[in-house]
Amino acid sequence: MSIIKTIIEVLFLLYTISILSFYFWLAVVSAKELLKNVRESKTTNFDALLSSSFAPVISLLAPAYNESLTIVDNIRALLGLYYPNFEIIVINDGSKDDSLEKTIKAFDLELVPFAIDYKIKCQTIRGIYKSKVKAYSNLTVIDKMNGGKADALNAGINIAKGDYFISIDVDSIIDPHALKKLIKPFFEETDKRVIAAGGVIQIANSCIIENGQLVEVNVPDKFLPRCQVIEYSRSFLMGRLAWSRMDGLLLISGALGLFDKEVVINCGGYYTKTVGEDMELVVRMRKYMADNNLKYKVVYISDPLCWTEAPSTLKVLGSQRNRWTRGTIDTIMLHRNVFMNSKYGFMGMVSHPYWVFFEWLAPIIEFSGILYFIIIAMLGWASWSFFYVMLGFVYFFAIMFSTYAILFDHLAYNRYKKKRMIMKLLLTAWLEPFFYHPLIVYWGLRGNFDYFIKKKKSWGKMTRSGFEMPSYKKEKR
């Protein structure tokens, strides 16, 4: 019995040390990358790109499903992006509301004859709409049968003119300079082909938004979105930047990502039978490049290019995290041959195993650890002094990590100008491990349960409540 106990305890300890080591390592590499990006961005001049006739066409793909409330404003905001050569393709994925009718009316659209080249399979396209007004000449609306986000994106790729396309969530707010910043790495790289690029996603809850544009940045009033602000900062500024630098990035967020269309088509487009289509596509693209011995790179840009509404209720957040977990498991399972496969280089030997052990299995192992501790505590075998020390160790590490994420965010972007805002975030960082983290573990477990036991494949309900105003603005009104 004591041998088993020892094995279990040492394994837990090793796991804890490994995960914290990984976090530490990623934070150090991210800091270096962030510093480099921030410094270089000060002298980068985009005038050459913006005024050049050689700027490549970028197709902006915005799948929309029941977005009637915001679709018109969001398209207007997209039309205002700063880039010389882009088209917007809004894909109405069989909405049940009046999204299409509202769009047709707002932009004076009409059905046009269009010979579609189905390079990637997708649900039947019912019609292609273009505007009669010249000012909207770069807007195309596809009306198709419902097939999910991945299918909608595939339909968009089929009619996209550009060599590059951006997939976005139509309800997200895209930074007006996002396109030029995202395309830059594709032009800078000389030795490798850049196949995809992503940018930092930020939380827009409580921020002031006018006509689809972000006017003022605020810290969310509610606790849950505030926790997500810290979580996103940790994930993007202390994780993905490092993976990008080490060329091991497996995920480009579905909210904003720029892709090389040719590579996407060659590897079959978005996979429609998964809820984690964004990660699955990146892994498949990487595999395709590696299988064909082509040099490639997936990059992340440290600039905040996209603002999204974070779930502010437990139900919606739970559904989102459940889906993320199922998407992760699905991708890991679909590409299990990458695991520890030296053929896929860093992705096979480090990134994929990292996702298996520290993303997918983390909630399971954490829960098992808690369960194990409860059992040994009940049996009177627990070493309480060791428990308190370890609890303190992990708790303070978590807070330290979050505080550094807030610091990185502040030094890089200086988004939250008021001291009060930063203090609010710091306080949230102290509370988060007690209130928010256990929920994330629970939803992670539920995701595993739903994937393996219930075999759930649906997206679940993701209700948006619309960008809420900050409390002080409400008071003014």
Partner 1 sequence: MGCIKFTPVKLITNCYVLFCFLCFLLSVHNSKAEELVTFSQDTVRESQLALIDSTPATQNNNAVFTASPLLREPEEIKTGSDLPAEKTHRNSILGVFFTQDKIASIKKNLITYGNNHFPRNVRSFYISVIENAFEYSIIFLFVILILVFIANIAFVFLILNYTIKRKSYNEKFEKVYRKMYEEVLLSYLFGSIDWETAFLKLRKRNKRKNRRILTSVLMNFNTNFKGEFESLIPEIYTRLGLQHDSLKLTRSVYNHKKVAGIIELTHLYPEGAREIINELINDPSDYVRAEAQTAYVKLNPETPFSFFHQLERPFAMWTQLSVFNLIRVHQLPVPSFAQFLNIRHPNIRNFSLRMITYFQQLENVPDILKMVDNKLDKTRFLTYKAINDLRLYDSRDLIKSRFKNETGKNKLEIVKALKNIGTEDDFEFLENVMISENMSLKTEACRSMYFMSSKGRERLLEINSQPSEELELLIAHVTDPRN
What residues line the site for partner 1 (CB under 8 A)? 2-3, 6-7, 9-10, 13-14, 17-18, 21, 24-25, 28, 32, 39-40, 42-43, 45, 47-49, 51-55, 112-119, 130-131, 137, 184, 186-191, 262, 383, 385-386, 389-390, 392-393, 396-397, 399-400, 403-404, 406-407, 410-411, 414, 417, 419, 422, 426
Task: Give the torsion through C-alpha atoms of 64, 69, 75, 78, to 10 deg.
Answer: -90
Minimum distance from residue 425 beta carbon to partner 1 (Å) = 10
Minimum distance from residue 187 beta carbon to partner 1 (Å) = 4
Q: What spatial distance separates the first Cα and last Cα of the chain, rounded to whole Å?
A: 67
The answer to whether residues 251 and 240 touch, using CB atoms and an 8 Å cutoff, is yes
Radius of gyration for the alpha carbons in the chain, expressed in angstroms and rounded? 23
Minimum distance from residue 395 beta carbon to partner 1 (Å) = 9
Which is closer to partner 1, CB of 134 or CB of 455? 134
Which is closer to partner 1, CB of 14 or CB of 333? 14
Closest CA to 120 of 239, 265, 275: 265
Minimum distance from residue 397 beta carbon to partner 1 (Å) = 6
Give me the residues paired with residue 199 across strands: 301
The answer to whether residues 202 and 306 touch, using CB atoms and an 8 Å cutoff, is yes
For residue 11 the two structure tokens come to 């394994």
Which is closer to partner 1, CB of 40 or CB of 210? 40
Which is closer to partner 1, CB of 114 or CB of 373? 114
Minimum distance from residue 45 beta carbon to partner 1 (Å) = 7
SS3 content of the chain, % helix, strand, coil (to 5): 55, 15, 30
Minimum distance from residue 254 beta carbon to partner 1 (Å) = 27
How far apart CA 285 and CA 431 sit, in angstroms, is 39
The answer to whether residues 45 and 148 touch, using CB atoms and an 8 Å cutoff, is no
How far apart CA 448 and CA 390 sit, in angstroms, is 27
Minimum distance from residue 234 beta carbon to partner 1 (Å) = 14
Which is closer to partner 1, CB of 158 or CB of 328? 158
How far apart CA 76 and CA 224 sit, in angstroms, is 30
Minimum distance from residue 72 beta carbon to partner 1 (Å) = 20
Which is closer to partner 1, CB of 186 or CB of 259? 186
Give me the residues paired with residue 139 across strands: 88
Which is closer to partner 1, CB of 52 or CB of 463? 52
Instruction: Count Cβ atoms below 10 Å from residue 12 Cβ, excluding itself.
Output: 17
Give me the residues paired with residue 257 across strands: 167, 198
Instruction: Count Cβ atoms below 10 Å from residue 374 Cβ, excluding itself.
Output: 11
For residue 341 the two structure tokens come to 């496969």
160: three-class secondary structure by DSSP: coil
The answer to whether residues 100 and 71 touch, using CB atoms and an 8 Å cutoff, is no
Minimum distance from residue 48 beta carbon to partner 1 (Å) = 4
Minimum distance from residue 117 beta carbon to partner 1 (Å) = 4
Minimum distance from residue 120 beta carbon to partner 1 (Å) = 12
The answer to whether residues 59 and 167 touch, using CB atoms and an 8 Å cutoff, is no
Q: Which residues of 283-306 are buried (b: 16+ CB within 10 A; e: fewer)?
A: bbbbbbbbeeeeebbbbbbbbbbb
Which is closer to partner 1, CB of 7 or CB of 314? 7
Which is closer to partner 1, CB of 103 or CB of 320? 103
Q: The tokens 């082909």 sit on which residue?
A: 193
146, amino acid identity: N
434: three-class secondary structure by DSSP: helix
Which is closer to partner 1, CB of 333 or CB of 427? 427
Which is closer to partner 1, CB of 186 or CB of 360? 186
